[in-house]
A and B are shown apart, each in its own frame.
Chain A
């Protein structure tokens, strides 16, 4: 059995934890250059905002409905994500962090037999400890867990936790084929033309016909809906948005030598995986910590986040940055239990490679000119691409609505008023 825990409107929820005034208001979070919408509160979804919408086209809507606009604050989202994931790990050791706001949990190892009860308790704990509301779906396969999660989000009477019932037909009939994990817009269009509208219809479809009309992934997805496991941990039918490489050490690690080797090897594997999937990463997060369970030994939890100058999948760049972040955080005398590298804000694309800093700067300046030219001439696809590839100079100009890094910077802590 699997569960999928998915934070509700995660970025918007993070903003609201520290600014409760935003509760109930439409809120959008923008991409790194304040260009497009990357996340929405429920109220913003209801107003019709879509992920990818260029915000300048919606100035009137923003003004008319007092939509709160925020620049992305990955330092905050990353730290809140870490807290949510660590809470989940207290309930089950078998956790696959699927993205910044989603994790699959293998339930078979849980002590309690009542998975639903256990997951309700986990949900309540996450909400109390971090302030982040999550929805949880439980099913025999990852695809079913994902589907149950969708059901939980759509149906408030579930109170955020839904389990695929023994006879799932009725539930499957309520789920649109386009809402199935891994079935994209293209496929759902084609499926509808074939008379397949719901998850139930897809389950009933002949699997060889699915394979012949689509591909093996689509067939596996249909089989997963029938309860046969095809996607194990770390396997999925869709393009990833984040990439986590971490592992618990077999025995506790105390030396910088060992710790740095572990981090470098995670960085290496993460970079390989990126290139393999033709992705580049913009944000790097490095973490290591002592055991979450052992209270007898002194505890230390370290983590840091950095934006790459430009998105990258170059191994040595990622290793260098990872170790540069990790080294000052390392403390002697602690028994580290886990270390990892987390790459965020992934996009598809290639990297400008260069061997020397000066060359790199030249290339960068050239590209910057291209960006400006593109902005000046047309707001086409190229603009979006270059802007999201990212240059710190451009970005720092365009992060106009950023909330404080409440949890990671001493001079940006939330303030509470002693008054009234």
Chain B
């Protein structure tokens, strides 16, 4: 699914040719996928576009990890199909009603409106966003 990003857990080799005492503990690298992709079969990467979810920590251009095998529940950030397009929203479930709520910065609140949906959200919810990857070097 994705190229591995592998970071050595412990590294180092003695320069003079003596084995480092730490070498015995080098077993394997850690892989970001292990944290962020628990079910590779059902995991897709999606690029976020727009600002309506900044309150949830999703910025324009962020990489979203979407796991379709995770069941959406109250409070999940989800990819929802609205008017045939993929959108990101917070799922709120109350009583017998569910709604998809944008979560902009405080200053932008009011300019986005929640969308009421029925409780049967299977057809609307594409997948659950499990991680957002934000590049801090980016200029956006």
List residues of chain A with CB under 8 Å of any chain B CB.
18-23, 83, 86-87, 90, 125, 128-131, 298-301, 331, 333, 406-407, 410, 413-420
Contact = CB atoms under 8 A, between A and B. Distances in A.
17 contacts: A83-B41, A83-B42, A125-B69, A130-B41, A300-B4, A300-B31, A301-B40, A413-B45, A413-B47, A415-B46, A417-B87, A418-B51, A418-B58, A419-B50, A419-B52, A420-B52, A420-B112
Contact of A420 (B33, B79, B115): B115
Contacts of B69: 125, 128-129
Contacts of B53: 418
B28 interface: yes
Contact of A298 (B31, B45, B82, B102): B31
Contacts of B82: 420
A417 B85 contact: yes
Closest 4 pairs (CB-CB, A-B): A21-B84, A418-B50, A129-B42, A416-B86
Contact of B34 (A19, A298, A333): A298
B88 interface: yes
B68 A129 contact: yes
B121 interface: no
Contact of A417 (B49, B68, B113): B49
Interface string B20-48: 00000000110101100001111011111
Interface string B55-94: 0001010011000110000000001011111111000000
A39 B31 CA distance: 39
Task: Give the size category of B's interface with A.
Answer: 35 or more
A416 B113 contact: no
Nearest to B60: A418
B14 interface: no
Contacts of A130: 41-42, 68
Interface of B: 1, 4, 6, 28-29, 31, 33-34, 39-42, 44-54, 58, 60, 63-64, 68-69, 79, 81-88, 102, 112-113, 115, 126
A417 B86 contact: yes
B122 to A, nearest CB: 8
Contacts of A300: 4, 31
Given A20-B84, A298-B31, A301-B1, A417 B50 contact: yes
Contacts of B50: 417-419
B1, B29, B50 interface centre (most CB from chain A within 10 Å): B1
A255 to B, nearest CB: 15
Contacts of A23: 84
Contacts of A406: 44
B116 to A, nearest CB: 13
Given A23-B84, A298-B31, A420 B48 contact: no
B4 A331 contact: yes
A407 B41 CA distance: 11
B140 to A, nearest CB: 13
Contacts of B86: 18, 20, 414-417
Contacts of A21: 83-85
Contacts of A416: 46-49, 64, 79, 85-88
A418 B81 CA distance: 12
Contacts of A333: 28-29
Given A128-B68, A416-B79, A420-B113, 14 more contacts: A129-B69, A298-B28, A299-B34, A301-B1, A331-B6, A407-B1, A413-B47, A413-B63, A416-B49, A417-B50, A417-B86, A418-B51, A419-B50, A419-B112
